Structure 1
């Protein structure tokens, strides 16, 4: 930024709070000027002598019209130099607009205009620019005093210095408020960075969980079936299943668009399950592919769990509707289990079933009955 910039400060600081501060600074300057000029105008008319009242009325009216332009164009670069020039011309008219007995003291209405202008400028320009503009109007004021009453300028220097002090206090206030705005912007920016970092970390964790779930549902399940001797390696579907596992791990296609038939997907899962599955379902259940895919993956894991842990080689798969929900149940008559004794590292229930269904807006309920089998209920929105 140019340190000698005379126009209004640009609205391009880093943070929203600081940008709003500059907007408020302009509004503050306009409101302060308008209020002060209203009071000053009344004082000017009261002080004017009868022979000069018409002139004072004209000057005050012109000053009011200029203040309207000041409010209208407060964001333009040319405003502050033009405003300073107007106030300097006003200062030079003191010979005709200010009574002689008020020229050199604090009742001088032009001095009030000079003061409020110097204060307002500090909120609209740089430090160096504020010093330059304040110096120009104070010098013009002293020159106007000297023209009105020759030899009086020395007595009005203290008033000029006091104007500098008031402008300096206004600048200090502005800098303190701006520092607070910048600190607020830094806090907001740091919070936003932390939020983004947390979102990225959560996305990475979700990707890792999804990868582990896919690995668990595919290659790990097939290898476990072989290793646990649930198959003897000669089954014709085993090679096909291994090929599908590799295809899923390599590609993992996006099924986020379009619809598919849930029943068709579940029949494929049942046909390649490590246990015999009795399927009871409608002829077709069309639904969004992403949900159907999640359900079929969860059913596959449920059937794999039957083969691993239930101690039976048959299961039942039921598909139906309940209002605006799709219901899928996988049940067996095996040994069942107690949820509280399931080790934390076992991912089947929490990852492959529950979280998969939850990610598509559904829920999974596993109802174990020790010694009486297990029921896995899946429920997702229909549509």
Structure 2
């Protein structure tokens, strides 16, 4: 754009010769057209061949103006040559300071332009004026190009650093997510089974306990071999991703699990949940963990679950009439509540509310968005 602007200014200055020197304009017009095409092509391809072409055409144009000046040309002829030599042609520097061959080419071209411009200006104006114009023009554009090159290099370096920092942060986030998933996995499976064993399986049939222990052993064995656990809506885990089925979209799998575990659950409200798969998994796994907490800690063997939904939200309210607890006395970082319920619901854009008091039972409200 800089080169084309100065080229246009030089040609406009030359038009002042009309009608006194129409032959000069006709002779110079093809050279100006060639330079204009060259600037456009160089801007797109950075072609060294076209850089040489523009330099040659520029020097030829200045020499053509020399002939006119020596033959009695006017000041506008010298002005056109000075604008061409000190503004248009130096613009080639912008695309040609990144390789020795280009720098050598520009240096040779600048020398020819300087000599030709001095000859032209000496015939009509001061030679010193032509010399200073060319030197200043080439120097300014060289300085601007170097500054731009350094600035762009620094910007690219900063972008690269930001990219590396982003990748490191993403890796750390993924590592933390994997750690939290592993903690949830152990809490929801192996630790639950070990807790049952520690209490001699009270309230759970021996067959259900053996089946759960066998499933946990299989899961750990495959994890050791490099498997990736995938949560199931029942609260268990599988090592392969499965297609969503009607069972996965209902509460039936959760009901069956806690029936086997000896917890009597009264279900109310919607029996089919139409949610995105990730939201549905988080909702049902959190619901299963709430019921597991009732079975382990409430001191009662029954619970109430009420499912409601509106246009934007699905809610589950899990209530028991057990021993309850003081909310202020519970560690907020306790794994079962913080990770398997609160964090899991929060990750899908939902929220968890907890109400309890000693001797008054516990109520947990889970809310997840439909979209």
Q: Does residue 27 of structure 2 align to residue 59 of structure 1?
A: yes
What's 2:141 paired with?
Answer: 170
Equivalent in the alignment of 2:3: 29
Distance 2:322 2:300 in 1: 6
Q: Deviations over 1:111-154 (max 9, x none)?
A: 332222342121121265345335335436636877999xx9xx
Q: Distance in 2 between matches of 1:339 and 1:279?
A: 26
Equivalent residue for 2:327, pick from 312, 320, 339: 339
- 2:324 is paired with a residue whose SS is coil
**Counterpart position of 2:252:** 264
Q: SS in structure 1 opposite 2:6?
A: helix
In structure 1, runs of 5+ residues without a counterpart are: 1-26
Alignment partner of 1:139 out of 96, 112, 127: 112
TM-aligned CA distance change 1:326 to 1:143, over 3 Å? closer
8 Å CA contact 2:286, 2:345 repeated in 1: yes
1:346-379 C-alpha deviation (Å, 9 max, x unpaired): 1111111122223334332222233211011223
Aligned equivalent of 1:318, options 294, 306, 326? 306
> Which whole-Å deviations, capped at 9, do the CAs of 1:243-285 have from their partners, x for residues lacking one?
2333455452355853423221221232133533333455554
Relative to structure 1, the CA distance from residue 144 to residue 113 in structure 2 (aligned partners, 3 Å threshold; closer, same or farther) is closer
What SS class does the counterpart of residue 98 from structure 1 fall into? helix
Cα distance, 1:82–1:363 mapped onto 2, change above 3 Å = same
Q: TM-score, normalized by length of structure 2?
A: 0.79
Q: Which of the numbers 140, 154, 164 marks the counterpart of 1:183?
A: 154
Question: Which secondary structure does the structure 1 equivalent of 2:171 belong to?
Answer: helix
Q: How many Å separate the matches in 1 of 2:367 and 2:87?
A: 71
Aligned counterpart, 1:237: 208
Q: Deviations over 1:309-346 (max 9, x none)?
A: 32323222333434453332221111212222212441
Q: 2:197 is matched with which residue?
A: 226
Q: Which moved more, 1:248-257 or 1:102-111?
A: 102-111
1:216 Cα deviation after fit: 0.4
Where relative contact order (Cα < 8 A, 6+ residues apart) is larger, the structure is 1
Q: Secondary structure at the match of 1:343?
A: coil
Task: Please name the residue that 2:41 is paired with.
Answer: 73
CA distance in 2, matches of 1:148, 1:338: 96
Q: In the aligned structure 2, how far is the partner of 1:321 from the partner of 1:161?
A: 81
Aligned-pair CA distance for 1:236:
2.1
- In structure 2, the CA distance between the partners of 1:31 and 1:269, relative to structure 1 (3 Å rule), is farther
Would you say 1:208 and 2:179 are equivalent positions? yes
Residue 237 of structure 2 is matched in structure 1 by none
Q: 1:158 to 1:208 in 2, by over 3 A?
A: same
CA distance in 2, matches of 1:202, 1:370: 38
Which 10-residue stretch deviates more, 299-308 or 331-340? Answer: 299-308
1:174-196 Cα distance to aligned partner (Å, 9 max, x none): 10122112212221221222122
Point out the more displaced range, 68-77 or 181-190.
68-77
Unaligned runs of 5+ in 2: 231-239
Q: 1:85 to 1:37 in 2, by over 3 A?
A: same
Q: What is the aligned partner in structure 2 of residue 367 from structure 1?
A: 355
Cα deviation, residue 201, structure 1:
0.9
Give the whole-Å Cα distance in 2 for the aligned partners of 1:299 and 1:171.
Answer: 69
Q: Say if 1:296 and 1:141 are closer, same or farther in 2 by CA, change over 3 A.
A: closer
For the pair 1:294 / 2:265, whether they are aligned, the reply is no
Residue 295 of structure 1: CA displacement? 2.9
Q: What residue in structure 2 maps to residue 20 of structure 1?
A: none
